[in-house]
C-alpha cells in the first residue's frame, strides 16, 4: 500500500505539465492528497501551500494531522472515505477561538487507472463566512419574522379599532342626520311662528300708528279753536281788557301754537315712519333750493345760506328729503349765539358706499366693485356757525323729544333730528355729524345715487296725472 502511494506520488509529480495537474494546481481552493496509513501529504496545490504559508517541499511528506487544524479528529472520516469510496465532509470547530472560522473538509477518494482507491483528496474550505452569514441571515429573518408578527398583530388590532371607529362614525352620522332633520323641522316651524308673530306685530304697530295719527290729527282742531279765539279776543276786544288779561291771552295762544307745532312734528315723524318709502331719482339741487326759497325768514339779512356748486341727483323720496333738508337747515339757522348771523354752507361729495348694517363681506364686496358696478354714494354736508354740540350730548342728538338747549332760548319740540334720522333710514341712507362746542356743527346725510336714468316721479306729479284721468273714470 505504501509503495503504491509513493508510486502515485511520483506519477503526479512526474506529470506536472499535464492538463489535470495544472487545473488542480491553480484552483483557488486549497486542495491536497493524502495516502497511506500515516496519512502523509503527497500533494498540495498552490492555494493549500499559501494557506499554511509554506513551500510545497516543506509540506509534502508531512502527516496530514500535523498540518491542518483538528487533523486527528478528521482521520476516521478520512479512512472511511478511503475504505468506502464515498465522498464525505468533516467540519472542524475551533472551540478555542469562537471568532475564528470553523474548517470544512470535503473529502473524496483518488483512484488509480483501474479505479481502485489509492488515496483521499481533501479540499479545505473556511466555512466561516457562509455559516456566520447564514446565522446572521437567520437571525435577521427571525427578527423580521417576529417583527412581522408584531406588525401583523398591530395591524389586526388597528383594523379592528378602525372598524369600530367606522361603525361609531356611521352611528354618529346617522344621529347627526336625524338631529339635522329635526333642527330643520324646528327651524321651519320657528320661521313660521316668527313670520306669523311678525305679521301680527306689524298689524298691531300699524294699528297703533294709525290710532296715534288720528288722535294727533284730531287734537289739532280744538287747538285751532283755543288759538283762534284767543287771537280774536286780542285783536278785536282790547278795549275791555287790561294789560295782564292781554298777556294771559297771548300765553294761551302761544301755548296752543307750541302744542300744535309738537303735534305737527309727531305727525311728520309718523308720516316718515309709515308712508311708502319707495325711492326714486331726486334732483337734490332743485329740491334744496326750493326748500330754501320756501322759508322767507331764511333770506338775507336774517341768514346766509350758500349752496356750493350744483348738487347731484340722488336716490331718495322727495317728501322725506324735503323734510330732512328743512329740519337740518332750520336747526343750523336756529342754534346760533345771540347777535350772530347764521351762516350755512351746503355741499356734496362722493363717498365710498357704506351699506347700513351690512356684513363685512358685503362691505368688502361693494368696496371692490364700487367704481365699476355700484354707483357712488353722495354725502351732503350742512355746515353752520352755530353753538355746536358738546361731546357728552352726542348720543342724545337723534333721540325723540331730547332737547339739548333750554326752551326759552331755542324754541323747538326735540323732534327735528329724530324725523331726519327716521326719514334717512327709510331711504336706506345714513346721517351723522361732526361738531365742536361754540365752533359750529357739520351734519351730513349719505344717500345712494341712481344706477341709470329714471323718470322723475313725484307724489304731486302723479296726483295731477291721476286727476287728468278722471273723466274716463266717470263713464
Binding residues for another protein (CB under 8 A) = 217, 220-225, 227-229, 231-232, 257, 260, 264, 267, 271, 275-276, 319, 459-460, 462-464, 466-467, 469-471, 473-475
Least distance to another protein, CB of residue 368, Å: 39
Least distance to another protein, CB of residue 471, Å: 5
Least distance to another protein, CB of residue 203, Å: 19
With respect to another protein, which residue has the nearer C-beta, 357 or 471? Answer: 471
Least distance to another protein, CB of residue 474, Å: 5
Least distance to another protein, CB of residue 356, Å: 25
Least distance to another protein, CB of residue 375, Å: 27
Least distance to another protein, CB of residue 219, Å: 10
With respect to another protein, which residue has the nearer C-beta, 97 or 475? Answer: 475
With respect to another protein, which residue has the nearer C-beta, 89 or 275? Answer: 275
Half-sphere exposure of 290 (CA within 13 A, CB side): 11
With respect to another protein, which residue has the nearer C-beta, 3 or 470? Answer: 470
Least distance to another protein, CB of residue 252, Å: 12
With respect to another protein, which residue has the nearer C-beta, 96 or 467? Answer: 467
C-alpha angle 310/300/346, rounded to 5°?
30
With respect to another protein, which residue has the nearer C-beta, 72 or 461? Answer: 461
With respect to another protein, which residue has the nearer C-beta, 128 or 261? Answer: 261
With respect to another protein, which residue has the nearer C-beta, 453 or 472? Answer: 472
With respect to another protein, which residue has the nearer C-beta, 115 or 469? Answer: 469
Nearest Cα residue to 381 out of 419, 349, 429, 336: 349
Least distance to another protein, CB of residue 467, Å: 4
Amino acid at each position: 500500500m505504501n509503495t503504491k502511494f509513493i508510486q502515485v506520488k511520483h506519477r503526479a509529480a512526474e506529470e506536472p505539465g499535464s492538463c489535470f495537474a495544472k487545473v488542480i494546481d491553480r484552483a483557488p481552493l486549497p486542495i491536497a492528497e493524502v495516502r497511506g496509513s500515516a496519512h502523509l501529504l503527497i500533494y498540495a496545490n498552490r492555494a493549500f501551500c499559501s494557506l499554511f504559508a509554506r513551500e510545497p517541499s516543506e509540506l509534502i511528506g508531512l502527516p496530514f494531522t500535523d498540518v491542518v487544524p483538528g487533523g486527528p479528529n478528521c482521520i476516521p472520516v478520512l479512512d472511511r472515505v478511503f475504505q468506502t469510496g464515498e465522498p464525505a465532509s468533516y467540519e472542524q470547530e475551533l472551540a478555542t477561538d469562537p471568532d475564528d472560522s470553523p474548517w470544512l473538509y470535503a473529502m473524496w477518494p483518488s483512484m488509480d487507472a483501474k479505479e481502485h482507491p489509492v488515496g483521499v483528496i481533501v479540499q479545505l474550505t473556511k466555512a466561516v463566512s457562509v455559516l456566520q452569514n447564514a446565522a446572521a441571515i437567520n437571525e435577521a429573518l427571525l427578527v423580521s419574522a417576529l417583527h412581522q408578527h408584531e406588525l401583523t398583530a398591530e395591524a389586526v388590532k388597528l383594523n379592528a379599532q378602525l372598524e369600530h371607529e367606522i361603525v361609531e362614525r356611521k352611528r354618529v352620522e346617522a344621529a347627526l342626520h336625524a338631529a339635522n332633520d329635526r333642527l330643520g323641522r324646528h327651524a321651519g316651524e320657528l320661521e313660521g311662528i316668527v313670520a306669523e308673530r311678525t305679521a301680527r306685530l306689524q298689524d298691531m304697530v300699524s294699528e297703533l300708528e294709525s290710532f296715534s295719527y288720528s288722535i294727533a290729527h284730531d287734537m289739532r282742531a280744538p287747538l285751532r279753536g283755543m288759538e283762534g279765539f284767543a287771537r280774536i279776543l286780542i285783536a278785536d276786544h282790547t278795549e275791555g281788557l287790561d294789560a295782564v288779561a292781554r298777556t294771559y291771552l297771548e300765553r294761551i295762544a302761544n301755548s296752543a301754537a307750541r302744542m300744535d307745532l309738537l303735534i305737527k312734528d309727531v305727525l311728520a315723524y309718523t308720516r316718515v315712519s309709515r308712508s311708502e318709502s319707495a325711492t326714486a331719482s331726486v334732483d337734490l339741487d332743485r329740491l334744496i333750493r326750493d326748500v330754501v326759497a320756501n322759508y322767507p325768514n331764511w333770506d338775507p339779512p336774517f341768514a346766509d345760506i350758500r349752496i356750493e356748486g350744483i348738487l347731484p341727483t340722488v336716490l331718495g323720496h322727495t317728501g322725506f328729503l324735503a323734510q330732512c333738508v328743512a329740519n337740518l337747515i332750520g336747526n343750523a339757522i336756529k342754534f346760533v349765539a345771540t347777535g350772530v348771523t347764521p351762516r350755512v354752507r351746503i355741499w356734496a361729495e362722493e363717498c365710498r358706499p357704506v351699506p347700513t348694517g351690512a356684513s363685512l363681506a358685503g362691505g368688502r364686496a361693494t368696496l371692490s366693485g364700487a367704481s365699476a358696478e355700484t354707483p357712488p354714494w353722495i354725502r351732503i354736508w350742512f355746515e353752520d356757525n352755530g353753538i355746536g354740540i358738546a361731546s357728552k350730548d352726542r348720543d342724545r342728538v337723534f333721540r325723540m323729544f331730547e332737547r339739548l338747549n333750554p326752551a326759552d332760548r331755542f324754541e323747538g319740540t326735540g323732534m327735528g333730528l329724530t324725523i331726519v334720522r327716521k326719514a334717512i333710514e327709510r331711504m336706506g341712507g345714513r346721517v351723522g355729524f361732526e361738531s365742536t362746542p361754540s365752533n359750529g356743527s357739520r351734519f351730513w346725510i349719505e344717500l345712494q345715487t341712481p344706477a341709470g336714468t329714471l323718470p322723475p316721479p313725484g307724489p304731486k306729479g302723479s296726483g295731477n296725472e291721476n286727476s287728468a284721468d278722471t273723466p274716463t273714470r266717470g263713464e
